[in-house]
Amino acid sequence: MAVITAFPGRINRIMRLVWFAELSLLYLAVLVAVWLRYLDEPDNLAVFMQTLPLRAPLLALSITAAMAAFGLYQPHVRHGWIDLFLRLGLAFALGGAALSVVYYLVPQTYIGRGVVAISLVLGFLLVAGLRLALFGLLNIEALKRRILVVGAGDNADWINRRLRRRSDRKSFTIVGYLPIGDQKVTVGSDQLVPAGRDLRELARDLGVNEIVIAPDERRGSLPMDEILGCAQNGISVIDLPGFFEREAGLIKLEVVDPSSLIFSGGFDHSLVRRLNKRFFDLAAASALLLLAWPAMLLVALAVRLESPGPVLYHQVRVGEGGRSFRLTKFRSMRTDAEKNGVAQWATTNDDRTTRVGRFIRQTRLDELPQLFNVLIGDMSFVGPRPERPQFVDQLNDAIRYYPVRHSVKPGLTGWAQLRYPYGASVEDAREKLTFDLFYVKNQGLIFDMMILLQTVEVVLFRRGAR
- Give CA–CA dist 311/295, Å, rounded: 14
Q: Give the neighbor-by-neighbor strand order of the sheet with 210-213.
A: 172-178, 145-150, 210-213, 236-239
- Within a domain: 3: no
- Give CA–CA dist 461/356, Å, rounded: 18
How does residue 443 score in pLDDT terms, banded at 50, 70 and 90? Answer: confident
Residues paired with residue 327 on neighbouring β-strands, in sequence order: 315
Task: Tell me which of 263, 281, 312 is where a domain ends.
Answer: 263
How does residue 461 score in pLDDT terms, banded at 50, 70 and 90? Answer: low
Within this chain, do residues 52 and 64 fall inside the same structural domain, yes or no? Answer: yes
Within this chain, do residues 414 and 292 fall inside the same structural domain, yes or no? Answer: yes
Q: How confident is the model over 286-294, as a mean pLDDT?
A: 93
Within this chain, do residues 40 and 129 fall inside the same structural domain, yes or no? Answer: yes
Q: From 205, 158, 215, select the one nearest 183 (Cα to Cα).
A: 215
pLDDT score of 191 more than 70: yes
- Give CA–CA dist 149/178, Å, rounded: 6
Within this chain, do residues 391 and 330 fall inside the same structural domain, yes or no? Answer: yes
Predicted pLDDT of residue 384 = 94
pLDDT score of 303 more than 80: yes
- Within a domain: 4: no
How does residue 314 score in pLDDT terms, banded at 50, 70 and 90? Answer: very high
Predicted pLDDT of residue 2 = 37
Predicted pLDDT of residue 105 = 87
> How many percent of the chain have pLDDT more than 90?
44
Predicted pLDDT of residue 5 = 42
pLDDT score of 317 more than 90: yes
- Within a domain: 466: no
pLDDT score of 6 more than 70: no
Q: Are 151 and 195 in contact (CB under 8 A)?
A: no
What does the angle CA 370 – CA 376 – CA 382 come to, to the nearest 5 degrees?
55
Within this chain, do residues 231 and 101 fall inside the same structural domain, yes or no? Answer: no
Lowest mean pLDDT among 115-129, 194-208, 254-268: 254-268
How many C-beta neighbours within 10 Å does residue 390 have? 13
Within this chain, do residues 288 and 232 fall inside the same structural domain, yes or no? Answer: no
Question: Strand pairing of 324-330 and 312-318?
Answer: antiparallel
Q: How confident is the model over 144-169, as a mean pLDDT?
A: 87
Radius of gyration of the chain (CA): 25
Taken as a whole, the chain contains a residue count of 466
Within this chain, do residues 148 and 128 fall inside the same structural domain, yes or no? Answer: no
Residue at 312: amino acid letter: L
Task: Tell me which of 263, 298, 325 is where a domain ends.
Answer: 263
Q: How confident is the model over 305-311, as a mean pLDDT?
A: 86
Q: How confident is the model over 185-195, as a mean pLDDT?
A: 92
What does the angle CA 219 – CA 211 – CA 213 come to, to the nearest 5 degrees?
25
Predicted pLDDT of residue 127 = 94
User: How many domains are there within the chain?
Assistant: 3
- Give CA–CA dist 121/98, Å, rounded: 16
- Give CA–CA dist 189/192, Å, rounded: 5
Predicted pLDDT of residue 425 = 81
Whole-prediction pTM: 0.75
Burial class (CB in 10 A: 0-12, 13-18, 19+), 285: buried
Within this chain, do residues 125 and 167 fall inside the same structural domain, yes or no? Answer: no
Task: Tell me which of 90, 121, 137 is where a domain ends.
Answer: 137
Predicted pLDDT of residue 7 = 45
**Regarding predicted confidence, which is higher, 156 or 108?**
156
φ, ψ (nearest 5 deg) of residue 281: -60, -50
- Give CA–CA dist 357/344, Å, rounded: 17
Mean pLDDT of all residues belonging to the chain: 84
Within this chain, do residues 67 and 88 fall inside the same structural domain, yes or no? Answer: yes
* Each residue's pLDDT tens digit, 17-33: 888 999 999 999 998 98
Three-state SS letters, the chain: CCCCCCCCHHHHHHHHHHHHHHHHHHHHHHHHHHHHHCCCCHHHHHHHHHHHHHHHHHHHHHHHHHHHHCCCCCCCCCCCHHHHHHHHHHHHHHHHHHHHHHHHHCHHHCCCHHHHHHHHHHHHHHHHHHHHHHHHHCCCHHHCEEEEEECCCHHHHHHHHHCCCHHHHCCEEEEEEECCCCCCCCCCHHHECCCCCCHHHHHHHHCCCEEEECCCCCCCCCCHHHHHHHHHCCCEEEEHHHHHHHHHCCCCCCCCCHHHHHHCCCCCCCHHHHHHHHHHHHHHHHHHHHHHHHHHHHHHHHHHHHCCCCCEEEEEEECHHHCEEEEEEECCECCCCCCCCCCCCCCCCCCCECHHHHHHHHCCHHHCCHHHHHHHCCCEEECCCCCCHHHHHHHHHHCCCHHHHHHCCCEEECHHHHHCCCCCCHHHHHHHHHHHHHHHHHCCHHHHHHHHHHHHHHHHHCCCCC
Q: How confident is the model over 207-215, as a mean pLDDT?
A: 93
Q: Per mean pLDDT, which of 104-108, 346-350, 400-404 is the most reliable?
A: 400-404
201: domain range? 141-263
For residue 207, the domain's CATH number is: 3.40.50.20
* Each residue's pLDDT tens digit, 55-83: 788 999 999 988 887 778 876 555 667 77
How many C-beta neighbours within 10 Å does residue 267 have? 16
Predicted pLDDT of residue 308 = 82
Within this chain, do residues 44 and 133 fall inside the same structural domain, yes or no? Answer: yes
Provide the Cα torsion 292, 293, 298, 302; round to 10°: 90
Within this chain, do residues 307 and 447 fall inside the same structural domain, yes or no? Answer: yes
The distance from CA 426 to its chain's CA centroid, rounded to whole angstroms, is 22
> How many percent of the chain have pLDDT more than 70?
85
Q: What is the largest CA-CA distance in the chain?
A: 80
Within this chain, do residues 294 and 160 fall inside the same structural domain, yes or no? Answer: no
